[in-house]
Structure 1
Amino acid sequence: MKGKLIIFSAPSGTGKTTIVRHLLAKGFDLEFSISATSRQPRHTETHGKDYYFLTAEEFAKKVENEEFLEWEEVYKGTSYGTLKSEVERIRNNGKHVIFDVDVVGGLNIKKYYGDEALAVFVQPPSVEELRNRLTGRSTETEEKIAMRIAKAEHELSFAPKFDVVIVNDDLERAFVEAEKIIADFLNK
């Protein structure tokens, strides 16, 4: 039996990656779908673990060959996408695929897989709290943070299009809520 798909999307800095990592540690027979990106790795990231880091040319070639389930130029010159081969490799092994993707990508995957997928939107308690979280990371310039905040304000308008919304105002509570939502979906 092919695995189901669980999509986590959110503006940058909302805690979606932390929630996804928590769920992976809880079992559920999940395997992380590693996205591809044309951006440079951050000092804490590893190719093939955090992302498949591709040059802009490699990324464009895969787009041309229709190797992506979804992809988007998230920021000028920086694209992210989900390789079809990555998703099907996991599903064919009987595991459930868990995604940590941007909002547009998440909705595209949900549209493609329909009821086989659960789309979860993680929402920050406020835009101001989101700004504090991004600043606290110390991984980006003020200009990049301002870009992320502007994008986040737009992405928040997509929340109603998702199957379920988790407001991450308390991480432990968000963990518990995510576990229950995933267990219910996988047991359907």
Structure 2
Amino acid sequence: MSKPKIALIIGSTRKSRFADIPAQWMLAQAKARTDIEVELVDLRDFDLPLFDEVASNLWAPSSDPRAVAWQKKIAEFDGYIFVVAEYNRSITGALKNALDQSYVDWNRKPFTAIAYGSVGGTRALEHLRLIGVELMMVPTRNAVHLGMADFFKVHPGLGGSGNMADVEANLLPAAQASLDELVWWANATKAARG
């Protein structure tokens, strides 16, 4: 069986987003492994409309070619790592819309995350896990949480260094556990889907 193909999805589209810094760090952690292939998928690169279909693609084919292109991209992967920004105790509207644009392409695939924001993005990630269950995904127990002290230490717009190496020691054990778990589930679900 070939190595699982994993998408690292940046879930924020704001011009001033912080997401690129943890995304690049997590991408480096994933690429250092030999048991997965990983690709960065940036929501900015997809001109997704607000969800306006008759139903999800579980029930009816999507009519908007932008949604269909997104579905085809998501279908390429065996699992996902989400970069989760916490906005008002939940995920971004852009990420929710991207999740809603597809259904069957997420099914029976695992995901983990690197989350940041108030209390390490925990509340946003909990919302993502609930959405993932509805999409028939496998949310992992482990994830990487960039807590407020580390967030301020790194966020360049808030006086931080812009360098994840400054907080890496706090995050590496969680990253290792998250990726180990993601790989296990990706192999298991890939075999089962086959």
- Normalised to the residue count of structure 2, the TM-score between the two structures is 0.44
* Larger relative contact order (CA 8 Å, sep ≥ 6): 1
The structure with the largest strand share of the pair is 1
